[in-house]
Amino acid sequence: MVSENSNMSLTDMKEGQTGIIVSVAGGKGATKRLADLGLSPGTEIKVIRKALFSGPVKVLVRGSRIVIGRGLALKIIVALK
Amino acid sequence: MTEEKKLNIVLAGQGNTGKSTVFNFLTGLHQHIGNWAGKTIEKSEGTLFYKGYTVDVLDLPGIYSLTTYSVEEVISREYIINQKPDCVINIVDATNLERNLIFTFQLLELECPVILVLNMVDLAKKKGIRIDSKKLQDILNVHVIPTIASRGAGLTSIIDKAIELKEKKGQHKVHHYGKEIENCIKQLSALLEDIDISYPARWIAIKLLEKDKDIIKLVQKKKPEILEKTKQLQDYLEDIHGHDSSLVIADERSHLTCRITRETETIDANRKASLNDRLSAITTDRFLGYIVMVLILGGMFLTVFMMGDLLSGLFDPLFISWHNWWNDTVGTTFIASLGWAAVESVLALVQIALPYILPFYIILYILEDWGYIARISFLMDNLMHKMGIHGKACISFIIGLGCNVPGCLSCRIMESKRERFITAVLVTLVPCSAVSVIVFGLVGKYVGLLWAFGLYLFALLLIFLVGKILSRLLLGEPVELIMAMPDYKTPQIKTVLYQTWDALKEFVYIAAPIVVISGVAIHGIDLAGWMPFISSILKPVTVNWLGLPAVTGILLIFGILRKELILVMLAAYLGTTHFSDVLSPQQMITFAVVSMFYVPCIATISVLWKEYGWKKALIVCVLEILFAILLAGIVNRILNFVF
């Protein structure tokens, strides 16, 4: 079930949760780099691990593991699945 | 026929695809590594002879690899368009097909002949991934060759296909994007037909819609009215999709690759968690991960220094007997002594390079090839952010523990100029093998191992504080970490050796000449008898402020050459290797602190100069000298209460 208000930042997702990217609000360079790695709106994203002390987030996207710094992860908005 | 047949191919791909393994396999020892004209980016070329062909192979800089920033992407595409290689070999990681195909599409847009090398099919199979390479070949209309580069499997057929491709040119297949995007591309391409640009019109149109700065500038010069139309079309696309037109195109590429991947790849979903997955989970665990990291790095460090100490001890009697031989046969005249100074510099370099630096890099690159170093970047990212840099800088720090020269050079992996400079300055504060020799040989041996480790902790703390201050002083937006996390894989001896050689080569080529020349110069000053004068000038600092014997002033000057010289010369000047007879524990610790931080060695200074200009290099040196003297003096006064 998907509720209307299930949008949240990537950093708010728990380990093991899966969602769909709604938007990426990073700087232009970062957004493009993410897109080149396949992280664009509509893509399914799963949080594998969040590092201690609000460190980076490790995610699974399109079969690849990618690490994203916390500051940028905050700006990735996802809809929980 | 004696006419020489030539084939010109380039390797392109994302990081961690085994690209350098392919390059090394193909070219072996026939390699030439230089720099791209006017850039500090490495250019690797090689040649092989195959079936009557002279094959020139160029390794384009990897994208999203250890050595990435956008300049490399520009270099790559300009090379492909302007040099028109016979064939572009796109190396693709079979375990990450979908992500890698995005890059493949960018290559195909350049309308160059492409061969797709599906590498690491063995690892993919282990992960339960099956790729129908025949189907992929049909869909993409390019040759697809499955390979296992680490074992050399399938690599010669790359050249076979490249020759085949050269002899009969295939038709380029255009991969269409969504209707409205194709419509925009068509309108722009039509306008671009009659202008003279070496890039394909369709590619220019795509780049214009993607808001590529370089291409916009190029078109501005040739036919500025196209840009108005571009703006209209960008707005049109943004209206439909609701986000930036550059993302619309990237999105479209992703969808296309997603569809193709679905059609060609099957993943066994019922596979149990592999050893790889479990290992990955442990090493990035929020608690266990840090423990494992400390154990691995600590173990690496201890191994290197225990082995290094043992090996380097074996050289000592050998070199002493050589020195005696030199004195007996060549003599002890001024010139002969200078000659020995040069020989000695070379020998000393060998004595630090072979026992310490070589094993250090072998272990480091085994960890790197295995996939562990990326985990450290993940674990340390947050801490690094506090210094205005990100997790990848950790790699430079660890390399710097071996030798600051490759450490500083490796800062090129950082994305922005600001981060590169901050990382480089911090690397100069990382205790390298030579400094470790002082710390362990003086403090560790005569004051206690705990004090030696304490000094390392102190260095870490200091690096953190300096990083914090630097990131405040140097304005600029911090760059966020974006990094593909590689799977663990068995390290390849060949790759490890190549990487070790690369790092060692930087040490040999850059450090050695400078060290030898300045070694001779300073020995000349010494032989001329000016040293007592210099040490008396430095007396207020060394004796009054730091509480050290006056002779240390001379040692610190020699130390600029190579820091481990400080210890060697200390023994020579004091006439004993029993340092505890002549120095108090307090003096040893103070002396070690000055030696650690007072200035980067001359080879590192030359790297700073090369990479960041002489002004910045000079500022760093002066500040570090003042800072270290101030710091060591304070340490000396605090130690008054301890001892």
Integer Cα distance of B485 and B64 in angstroms? 11
The last residue of a domain, from among B233, B267, B301: B267
Residue B66 pLDDT exceeds 70: no
User: In terms of CA atoms, which chain A residue is nearest residue B14?
Assistant: A37
**B488 inside domain:** yes
**Mean pLDDT rounded to a whole number for chain B:** 84
Is A13 in contact with B246 (CB distance < 8 Å)?
A: no
Integer Cα distance of B24 and B355 in angstroms? 26
- State phi, psi for B93 to the nearest 5 degrees: -80, 115
B482 shares a domain with B578 = yes
Contact A62 B281 (CB under 8 A): no
Contact B477 A30 (CB under 8 A): no
Domains of chain A: 7-80 (2.30.30.90)
User: In terms of CA atoms, which chain A residue is nearest residue B261?
Assistant: A62
**B273 inside domain:** no
CA dihedral (B327, B331, B333, B337) in degrees, to 10, reads: -40
B527 shares a domain with B459 = yes
Closest chain B C-alpha to A37 CA, distance in angstroms: 6
Q: Which residue has the higher pLDDT, B560 or B31?
A: B560
Share of chain A above pLDDT 90, in %: 20
pLDDT tens digits, one per residue of B452-471: 989 999 999 999 999 999 98
Closest chain A C-alpha to B432 CA, distance in angstroms: 28
pTM exceeding the 0.90 threshold for the entire prediction? no
Residue B629 pLDDT exceeds 50: yes
The range of the structural domain enclosing residue B9 comes to 5-167
**B12 inside domain:** yes
Pick from B247, B378, B478: which is nearest to A31 by CB? Answer: B247
Share of chain B above pLDDT 70, in %: 95
Which of B575, B574, B556 lies closest to B566, judged by CA?
B556
pLDDT tens digits, one per residue of B270-300: 666 677 788 888 888 888 999 999 999 989 8
The CATH number for B192's domain is 1.10.287.1770
Chain B environment of A65 (Cβ under 8 Å): 280, 484-485, 487
B313 shares a domain with B292 = yes
Contact B64 A53 (CB under 8 A): no
**B174 inside domain:** no
Residue B404 pLDDT exceeds 50: yes
Share of chain B above pLDDT 90, in %: 16
B77 shares a domain with B19 = yes
Closest chain B C-alpha to A76 CA, distance in angstroms: 13
Integer Cα distance of B550 and B311 in angstroms? 32
Residue A4 pLDDT exceeds 60: no
Structure tokens at B254: 């992703």
Mean pLDDT throughout A31-48?
Answer: 84
**B243 inside domain:** yes
B604: left (phi over 0), alpha (psi -120 to 50) or beta: alpha
B321 shares a domain with B263 = no
Mean pLDDT throughout B66-80?
Answer: 66
Which of A32, A48, A53, A64 to mutate against chain B (most B CBs within 10 Å)?
Answer: A64
**Per-residue model confidence (pLDDT) at position B65:** 34
- Three-class DSSP category at B330: coil
Which of A26, A51, A46 lies closest to A36, judged by CA?
A26
**B272 inside domain:** no
Share of chain A above pLDDT 70, in %: 89
B330 shares a domain with B357 = yes
User: In terms of CA atoms, which chain A residue is nearest residue B480?
Assistant: A69
The last residue of a domain, from among B134, B167, B200: B167
**Per-residue model confidence (pLDDT) at position B67:** 32
Chain B environment of A26 (Cβ under 8 Å): 480
Structure tokens at B447: 């004051």
Instruction: Report helix, strand and coil shares of chain A as percent, to nearest 5.
Output: 20, 40, 40
The last residue of a domain, from among B267, B297, B323: B267
B337 shares a domain with B357 = yes
B457 shares a domain with B581 = yes
Residue B39 pLDDT exceeds 60: no
B348 shares a domain with B293 = yes
Pick from A38, A56, A64: which is nearest to B254 by CB? Answer: A38
- B434 pLDDT band (50/70/90 cuts)? confident
Residue B60 pLDDT exceeds 60: yes
Mean pLDDT throughout B308-329?
Answer: 85
**Per-residue model confidence (pLDDT) at position A3:** 47
**Per-residue model confidence (pLDDT) at position B272:** 67
B126 shares a domain with B186 = no
pLDDT tens digits, one per residue of B436-454: 888 988 898 889 889 998 9
The CATH number for B104's domain is 3.40.50.300
**B509 inside domain:** yes
* Other C-beta atoms lying within 10 Å of the C-beta of residue A18: 14
Overall number of domains in chain B: 3
Closest chain B C-alpha to A1 CA, distance in angstroms: 23
B458 shares a domain with B332 = yes
**ipTM entry:** 0.83
Mean pLDDT throughout B232-240?
Answer: 87
Three-state secondary structure readout of B616-639 = HHHHHHHHHHHHHHHHHHHHHHHH
**Per-residue model confidence (pLDDT) at position B1:** 46
Among B24-38, B135-149, B276-290, where is mean pLDDT lowest?
B24-38
Residues of A with CB under 8 A from a CB of B: 23-24, 26-38, 40-43, 49-56, 58, 61-72
Residue A30 pLDDT exceeds 80: no
Pick from B70, B129, B483: which is nearest to A67 by CB? Answer: B483
Contact B379 A62 (CB under 8 A): no
Which of B4, B93, B11, B75 lies closest to B46, judged by CA?
B11
**Per-residue model confidence (pLDDT) at position B619:** 93
Residue B390 pLDDT exceeds 70: yes
B553 shares a domain with B451 = yes
Residue B602 pLDDT exceeds 70: yes
Chains A, B: CB contacts within 8 A come to 135
**B280 inside domain:** no
Which of B561, B318, B610, B482 lies closest to A69, judged by CA?
B482
